[in-house]
Amino acid sequence: MQERNFHLAVDLGATSGRTILATFDGEKVDMQELTRFKYPMIPLNGHLHWNLPLIYEEILTALKKCHDAIKPATLTSIGIDSWGCDVAFFHKNGALSCLPFCYRDSHTDGAADKFCSRMPKETVYALTGIQFMDFNTLFQLDTIKRHSPEIIDSADKILFIPDALAYMLTGNAVTEYTVASTSQMLNPATGDLDPAILAELGIEREKFGPMVNPGHIIGTISKQIQDITGLGAVPVIATAGHDTAAAVIGIPTPDKNYAYLSCGTWSLLGIESPTPIINEKSHEFNITNEGGIDGTTRFLKNICGLWLFERCREEFNDAPADVAALAALCRQSDCESIINPDDPAFAHPDSMIRAISDYCMRTGQEPPTIPADYVRVIFRSLAKRYRQVLEWIRQLSPIDIKRLHVIGGGSLNPYLMQYTADETGVPVIAGPSESTALGNVLVQLRATGSVNSLQEMRKVAIASTQTKTYKPQNK
């Protein structure tokens, strides 16, 4: 039996994160939550920001706890994944120059159109293959460059969130491929940030770290961090820095004939393609090509996910506080109204309940009246949107899609899973809910020599997880 190694996965989502202490016995991964923490968006001077120092402090706290939890053993590696698009700015001395802007900040409303008035959308898509969304890094940087150019001009380094935190731990700056691919600045043909786009932005390539792939060893934690935490010179691995890329790596699939749905605050539905798919049809459908492990492409579409449910939950007065009990209310409603989850009205409304009601009235449908109605409308609408996007992807897919793997927290919602199976007409394999952390750890395992290939990583994923299958039922 192989000696058990300890790995720390830092998994950062929208407004909350956790650290996972994982061990590997040569066959399967065992994961235990070490810490959990929150970092709500900070409203400051009319903008929304992330408290990156707080996140960094929470990572240090986790490293201290890790030292105490595993001694006398040692920590083998650390990996960090997070949401995409957002970046942090650093001065030459390594100090953070300002709090990172949050992708939900409204300062980028209409930003894609503003940039594409100078560089046509057709050109941008041909270069990047990325879905147009106002908060993509390209449009965030263009907005900052127009409104607050001093932020970019004075920055020595511009780093995506997982790379920024790794830089703070090690002093080494890199740009990890999968998270950079969310930016709409990376050219998949060259594997680097596109020079024409950077020229249009007026930002030098040197401000970004060198491009590295998942599994690259960024460096070891600094001597200062070693002294603070009691740990030794632990390697920090550039895992699949984008959380969805990590989650796809953790899918327990024996073959390639599947589509996946990463189901959480956002829904990301796609396939793991051997090559990018960039053509007129993919542009028409606004489907994205993001980087995966070993040169694969995550051909997917971003869909507004359980953000709708989460926001409504905050507004419900006479409804169960328990999430599972609230989700179960969908069985007590017969409301047939359907919304488009990706309508701009649902991006960041003051009231999600009012936005859904207004949409229904605007489209000639009966508006929901009670929490059960809203829950049913949201779940059924998401499932119908999944069906539509899956049909688009089928038209372009080189893969024979025989099932849908659902990963992330939404996989624990039996009602949404059954609606999805019924709508798409394919078996839904739900789980694991911890796919992102698992994928993070699997990359660390390969980087440290415990596994050798993606195929072996998937075998470990199968051995380490349990799933539940939902079959389509007659409506």
Catalytic residues: 243
> Are 184 and 201 within 8 A, CB to CB?
no
List 157's β-bridge partners, or say none: 90
* Distance separating alpha carbons of residues 332 and 374, to the nearest angstrom: 11
Using alpha carbons, select from 242, 305, 273, 279 the residue that is nearest to residue 399: 273
Rounded CA separation 237/220 (Å): 9
Closest Cα to residue 136, out of 90, 183, 200? 183
Q: Would you say 271 and 399 are in contact if contact means Cβ atoms under 8 Å apart?
A: yes
> Would you tell me how many other CB atoms lie within 10 Å of the CB of residue 427?
15
Bridge pairing between strands 266-273 and 235-238? unpaired
Beta bridge partners of 469: 429
CA-CA distance, 14 to 102, in Å (whole number)? Answer: 10
- Residue 321: Cβ-neighbour burial (10 angstroms; 0-12, 13-18, 19+): exposed
Question: For 390, which DSSP code?
Answer: H
CA 44 to chain CA centroid, Å, is 25
Find the DSSP H helices in 14-110: 52-70
User: Looking at this protein, which amino acid is placed at residue 270?
Assistant: G
Secondary structure letter of residue 157 according to DSSP: E
**In DSSP terms, which residues pair with 261 in a beta bridge?**
269, 406
The Cα 22–Cα 32 span in angstroms is 6
Cite the DSSP H helix spans in 291-427. 307-315, 323-328, 352-362, 371-396, 414-424
Element (H, E) at 238: strand 235-238
Start-end of H helices in 3-72? 52-70
Tokens standing for residue 47: 């903008």
Q: What is the DSSP letter of 101?
A: B
